[in-house]
Chains A and B, each alone.
Chain A
Amino acid sequence: MTTPTYNRVSLPSNDNVNPYVFCVDLNGQWFAQKGKMIAYYGQIRFESLSAGPLDALVAANFHSPLYARDWIVAQGQGKLLLADRGFDVNSYDLTDGNLTIRAGNLLAFEPGLDLKQSIIPGFLTLIGTGRFIAASNGPVHFVEPPVRVDPQALLGWADCPSPCHHYDHSYVRGVLGTAGSLLGIRGTSGEEHQFDFTGEGTVLMQSSEVVRDTETVLRDLEGQIGMLGAGGLQRLQHFIAQRLAVERD
């Protein structure tokens, strides 16, 4: 029952050490999300994306200004151990493919892949050929469309069209029946909103996690405010004032 002791040589090469720890055999550069490294052997340097010598790499592979501050580049030679909140960790190989994943659950990816922001807030899309590492609360469960998934249980999707929002009829009726659309009316079953997947592809699910999404949503909204003119900004200000008044009651 005693745990095996690993050293630099005996640690697995680009494989799981256990279901919760992944070992990257680094020989060059990887993008890694901050705070996910737990230990390493060897000569490895961590640089922020703004470091001058990384300009070409970032220009070629990293296209998410929203999340740029959450990421670093690990470069050098060695064994790098990655983990995240004790979640299950898995590696995925993409071959000329695309996969979209919850931003907070992506731990690291090879520069062969391109990172872009998904249209769905809080998600990132990887395109190209290469390997990436992602965490999930419990093992990943793969399902095929058609399926409707609770937003907190959605880990990502591959090859299928982006999902749309699905609202239960009772919820829609509530919105129509009252002046509540503005007031952020809440449903009663707790299950009135899902992501609806159709078409060919694979949906990745996890046990629902308490998603610390406020920050992401805020960043997404702030990013979109740039598109508004003065008239739009005034209308938004009016809307926010009304919502604030309701929240204070």
Chain B
Amino acid sequence: MPAFSPINSKMLQAPVGPGRELYSRRGAMLAYVGQVYFEPTVTAGAGIGGALGRAMAGEHVPMMRVTGQGTVMFGYGGLDVTVIDLQGDTLYVEADRLLVHDASLQSGTMFLGEQGGLAGVIRGQVTGQGLFTTTLTGHGSVAVLSHGGVIELPITPQRPVHVDPQAYVAHRGNVQNRLSTSLGLRDLIGRGSGEAFQLELSGQGTVYVQASEKKI
């Protein structure tokens, strides 16, 4: 099964055929060859529960189902595109970062920072970050959007990684996450260094970070 093939840093190409359907962000099709159909979808393969979760999470990025026979090129708003291949594991990604993914992947929703307990939740709301993320599980490809490209940082038990919530794009692996305040900075909220809240990721896995604090 051929995966998504990158055309350049901002465009990719994906085949569509019987048994190979895609979910993509609406308006992200750049061009296509063959007979390809685009229809709006609310659930994006997540089922009603997932759709509700997405709605509760305030993630209203409209998706469409791509079917037919042909080749489709995707890209969005001149943003950088990164392809991530999943082999049975789970990718955690913010919904507004999703460009396109194989319909064979199982989609769901979870809340980042929930291991941090209630304090984590409240802090998430204080920072105004939509830290609900979409989960994609199974075998297939995912393409994510970023502002300025992403770097992959390995997470190991010896080396947890702290990420600015606004620069966080996605992560995978057996990773615990919690929102933390930087040492000694809680009293500086509002006039601080700008780094008062961080997403702490520990365990074994990979986190994808973009070169920008800009949300999409």
Contacts and interface: CB of A to CB of B under 8 A. Distances in A.
Contacts of B10: 137-139, 206-207
23 contacts: A137-B10, A138-B75, A139-B8, A139-B9, A141-B7, A147-B31, A148-B32, A148-B33, A153-B31, A153-B75, A170-B39, A190-B62, A191-B26, A192-B38, A203-B31, A205-B11, A205-B31, A207-B8, A207-B10, A207-B77, A207-B79, A208-B76, A208-B78
Contacts of B39: 170, 188-189
Interface in B4-20: 7-11
Band of interface residues on B:
20 to 34
Interface in B39-94: 39-40, 62, 64, 73, 75-79
B27 interface: yes
A138 B78 contact: yes
A203 B30 CA distance: 12
B195 to A, nearest CB: 25
B29 interface: yes
Q: Is the interface of A mostly helix, strand, loop or mixed?
A: loop
B14 to A, nearest CB: 14
B84 to A, nearest CB: 19
B26 A190 contact: yes
With a 10 A CB-CB cut-off, give which of B10, B27, B77 has the most chain A CB atoms: B10
With a 10 A CB-CB cut-off, give which of A188, A203, A209 has the most chain B CB atoms: A188
Given A149-B31, A150-B29, A189-B26, A209 B7 contact: no
A191 B27 CA distance: 6
Interface in A161-183: 168, 170
A62 B27 CA distance: 36
Interface string A142-163: 0100111110010000000000
Nearest to A139: B8
Given A148-B32, A189-B40, A207-B8, 10 more contacts: A138-B75, A141-B8, A146-B33, A153-B73, A153-B75, A190-B26, A191-B64, A207-B10, A208-B30, A208-B76
Contacts of A146: 33
Contacts of A209: 77-78
B196 to A, nearest CB: 31
A210 interface: yes
B66 to A, nearest CB: 9
Contacts of A150: 29-31
Smallest CB-CB A-B distances: 7 pairs: A138-B10, A207-B10, A153-B30, A190-B27, A207-B75, A137-B78, A190-B26
Nearest to B36: A148
A242 to B, nearest CB: 28
Contacts of B29: 150, 191
A89 to B, nearest CB: 15
With a 10 A CB-CB cut-off, give which of B26, B29, B33, B37 has the most chain A CB atoms: B29
Contacts of A148: 31-33
Contact of A149 (B30, B38, B64, B78): B30
Contact of A189 (B7, B38, B75, B78): B38
A208 B32 contact: no
Contacts of B75: 138, 153, 207-208
Contacts of B33: 143, 146-148
A26 B91 CA distance: 52
Contacts of B38: 168, 189-192
Contacts of B11: 138, 141, 205, 207
